[in-house]
Amino acid sequence: MDNGMESMLDTYLYETNSLLDRLDEMLVADEETEDFSTDDVNEIFRIMHTIKGSSAMMEFGSLSTIAHRIEDLFFYIRDKGISSLAHEHRKELFNLMFRSEDQLRGEVAKVESGSPLSENIDEFTAEIEGFLAKISGNGDSSQDEASTAGASGQTAAEDDSALPDDPQAACFIHIFLEEGVGMENLRAYMIVNALKEVGADFRYYPANMDTDSGTCQTIIENGFFLAFDSQENTSMAEDILKTQNHIHSYEIVEPAAKETAQPEAEAPAALPEQPVSAPAAKEAPAPKQESGAAAPASHAPVKQSLISVNLSKLDSLVDIVGEIVITESMVTASPELSHLPRDSYDNFMQSARQLRKLTDDLQDISMSLRMVPISGVFQKMNRIVRDMKQKLNKDVRLTVIGENTEVDKTIIDSIQDPIMHIVRNSMDHGIEETAAERIAAGKDPQGELILSASHSSSEVVISISDDGYGMDAGKLLAKAREKGLLTKPESEYSQKEALGLIMLPGFSTNQTVTEYSGRGVGMDVVKKNIEAVGGTVSLTSELGVGTTITMSIPLTLAIVTGMKVTVGNSIFTIPISNIRQSFKVRNEEVVLDECGHEMVDRMGTFYPIIRLHRFYNLDTEITSIEDGILLWVEASDRSYCLFVDDLIDEQQVVVKSLPSFFNEFGLKNAGITGCTILGDGNISIILDILTLYMAAIETI
């Protein structure tokens, strides 16, 4: 509609997603111990309450309904304590909660993509309600109150208009719930609770409505009663009732009416019950009060030390900081300064150094703003492992190392799918099918999957290793031959190269397609995704021991340490991480193939030479290989030499994308990823070593 609505939607999505993440984290952690702590129950209740409220506000009915049902469920659990749940129920509860989370996430995804929400969620909500009915029903039978409940139900059924026997009551409120809301006894109890929270003093009938699902029918047919000692309390309660959901109608019944009603009712059958239920009602407020007090306390906003910021604002901040850094060096390196008298120059330089230090700090901080810990991604893997463990019936433990490693936000987004894919692969194909198989191989019957992240100079290294079958290079080769993916005789493949075959498009070692992996898209997609963010993937595996897949990804895309090189009048920047060596060669060292392509020997292997001036059609005076300089560069598994005029120096540069005007010219596929503004205001083109190779060598 307008910006207001949109930013509200943004906030809603952000909030709901973080709540669901939090929920996921708790569920996975709690499932390990098969227990919810009281805090967690409270928190889940609160999460659902928030989702319910905000979804209702945004008019996302399905989300609100599901959250509402779970809120009801956890209201009950919070009230009764998790310990009241039987073991098998707990298991079911966890499964139900995981599925609810998925359902909620599914709906949120629909909101995000703008597609219509599911309309038919009845089946799912019915399931939650069914579960609630089951656990609440169970609770009763154990307490053996069912019989009394049945009796009270009967008595009430015998006489519709019967008021409960409560001689002290000055006033009754007779409440009917909406038809078909389900779990009437609990809803009634929630209303009772809401009243208690405001401190109203009253009794309610049937008194065992919270513990006995049998009272359900009674409440549906006859409604339920609240008994008050004074008129003030009654009117106060009336105000509360007006704010409660699911109330169809209520009426205030004066005691006078009771007097007339009672003789008619002749309810001696009800009488013996009252003493039982009255103390029960008296007892109840105490713990209620407690939980009532606990709830507001936990509702109180936790002091937030985090704020959420629009990523585009951060991007422009980083941009501006980059400009400041460059401008600062322009000012301090200005040639005009040499005209200053000695004293003033020294003074100036002193201030300039101060400024440089501050701008460096500023740059560091602004870069760190974009860094987020990788734990969010790892957390999701926890969930995947958990689900697959159950589905595949394999016992695997996931060990996470270095989850606090920080990575640029944009990188986080693009590594999630690759990691997920690898984890699924490992679970599905890596780990042995059965524990017996593992024992036979002399391994721990429980499989292990290790997810680790760590920093190395300018890269973050993420590795995923399993201790499963390991890969058989021979099998991979055979498979590749079958698919016609081999490019040279089989015997010439090294172990590393053979393993690398798995990353070729159209290679999948699994014969059958399973739910989790083997859809024909495989490691090649992982490789492509990682390369898209400037990273590399490598794979090591030993047959019978396990497989490790390692991804090295640059820490940030926004700043690159680059080597500036000249070709004619142009200045290019080559990421320093791609450069292995720079060297001069003599003419006789260059070897030509039959088409005149140049190659040069480096440490026993020949590498092709790409002349930048030729590839980009640039005018330069330096065309003889002896005058210029060769840069030995490497990206992913491609290695070659670039011929340039000269090297200038090494510099940190802020990466800017080219104006979108250039999109149609496909420069990205020709090795030009972006540009940067140099200290003197000139623009330098940043080269991508990998795509340059593809464009220059593979298209020949």
Partner 1 sequence: MSNQEETLVQNVQDFGESEGKQSIERCLTFESGGLVMFLSTEYVTEIINDYPITPIPLVPSFIKGVINVRGRIFPALDIRLCMGMPQLEYTNKTCIIMLNIDSTVLGIVVDSVQKVMDIDLNQVHPIPIKRRQKLLDGMVTVEDGRVLMSFDYKALASGQYN
Please, what is the angle between helix 61-80 and helix 184-197, to 10°?
70
Looking only at the bridges linking them, the beta strands covering 598-602 and 590-592 are antiparallel
Contact status: 659 vs partner 1 (CB under 8 A): yes
Residue environment code for 249-282, b if the CB has 16+ CB neighbours within 10 A, otherwise e? ebebbebebbeebbeebebebbeebbeebbebbe
Nearest CA-CA partner of 451 in 495, 499, 416: 416
Q: Is the dihedral of CA 665, 668, 671, 674 positive or negative?
A: positive
**Given candidates 14, 583, 606, 662, which one binds partner 1 under the rule CB under 8 A?**
662
State the minimum distance, in angstroms, from the CB of residue 659 to partner 1: 5
Cis check for the bond before 206: say yes or no (omega within 30 of 0).
Answer: yes
φ, ψ of residue 272 to 5 degrees: the values are: -60, -20
Nearer to partner 1, 392 or 658 (CB): 658
**Given candidates 660, 698, 699, 700, which one binds partner 1 under the rule CB under 8 A?**
660
Helix (H, G, I), strand (E, B) or coil at 489: coil
As a whole number of angstroms, the longest Cα–Cα distance in the chain is 121
State the minimum distance, in angstroms, from the CB of residue 570 to partner 1: 6
Contact between 121 and 62 under an 8 Å Cβ cutoff? The reply is: yes
Nearer to partner 1, 335 or 659 (CB): 659
Number of residues written out for the chain: 700
Nearer to partner 1, 530 or 559 (CB): 559
State the minimum distance, in angstroms, from the CB of residue 288 to partner 1: 58
State the minimum distance, in angstroms, from the CB of residue 665 to partner 1: 5
Q: What angle do CA 183, 187, 191 make, to 5 degrees?
A: 170
**Given candidates 681, 698, 699, 700, which one binds partner 1 under the rule CB under 8 A?**
681
Stretch that binds partner 1, among 190-198, 240-248, 449-457, 665-673 (CB under 8 A): 665-673
**Given candidates 20, 618, 647, 697, which one binds partner 1 under the rule CB under 8 A?**
618
Contact between 79 and 291 under an 8 Å Cβ cutoff? The reply is: yes
Nearer to partner 1, 280 or 331 (CB): 331
State the minimum distance, in angstroms, from the CB of residue 698 to partner 1: 16
Contact status: 22 vs partner 1 (CB under 8 A): no
Give the Cβ contact number of residue 312 at 10 Å.
8
State the minimum distance, in angstroms, from the CB of residue 561 to partner 1: 20
**Alpha carbons 325 and 675: distance in angstroms, whole number:** 16
Contact status: 241 vs partner 1 (CB under 8 A): no
184 to 203: interface string for partner 1, x by CB under 8 A = --------------------
State the minimum distance, in angstroms, from the CB of residue 651 to partner 1: 16
**Given candidates 216, 685, 689, 692, which one binds partner 1 under the rule CB under 8 A?**
685
The position carrying tokens 């000692």 is 229
Residues in CB range of 383: below 8 A, 6 or more apart: 24, 28, 98
Contact between 250 and 176 under an 8 Å Cβ cutoff? The reply is: yes
**Given candidates 257, 330, 420, 658, which one binds partner 1 under the rule CB under 8 A?**
658
State the minimum distance, in angstroms, from the CB of residue 337 to partner 1: 22
Contact status: 668 vs partner 1 (CB under 8 A): no
Nearer to partner 1, 147 or 682 (CB): 682
553 to 572: interface string for partner 1, x by CB under 8 A = ----------------xx--
Contacting partner 1 within 282-341 (CB under 8 A): 319-320, 323, 326
**Alpha carbons 693 and 105: distance in angstroms, whole number:** 41
State the minimum distance, in angstroms, from the CB of residue 201 to partner 1: 57
Cβ burial of 93 (10 Å; 0-12, 13-18, 19+) is buried
Contact status: 656 vs partner 1 (CB under 8 A): yes
State the minimum distance, in angstroms, from the CB of residue 681 to partner 1: 6
Q: What angle do CA 364, 535, 373 make, to 5 degrees?
A: 50
Stretch that binds partner 1, among 90-98, 110-118, 231-239, 610-618 (CB under 8 A): 610-618
Site size with partner 1, rule: CB under 8 A: 28
Residues in CB range of 309: below 8 A, 6 or more apart: 369
Please, what is the angle between helix 409-425 and helix 375-392, to 10°?
20
Contact status: 675 vs partner 1 (CB under 8 A): yes
State the minimum distance, in angstroms, from the CB of residue 568 to partner 1: 9
- Residue 37 one-letter amino acid: S
Q: Which residues of the shown chain bind partner 1 in the complex (CB under 8 A)? A: 319-320, 323, 326, 569-570, 615-618, 656, 658-662, 664-665, 667, 670, 672, 675, 677, 681-685
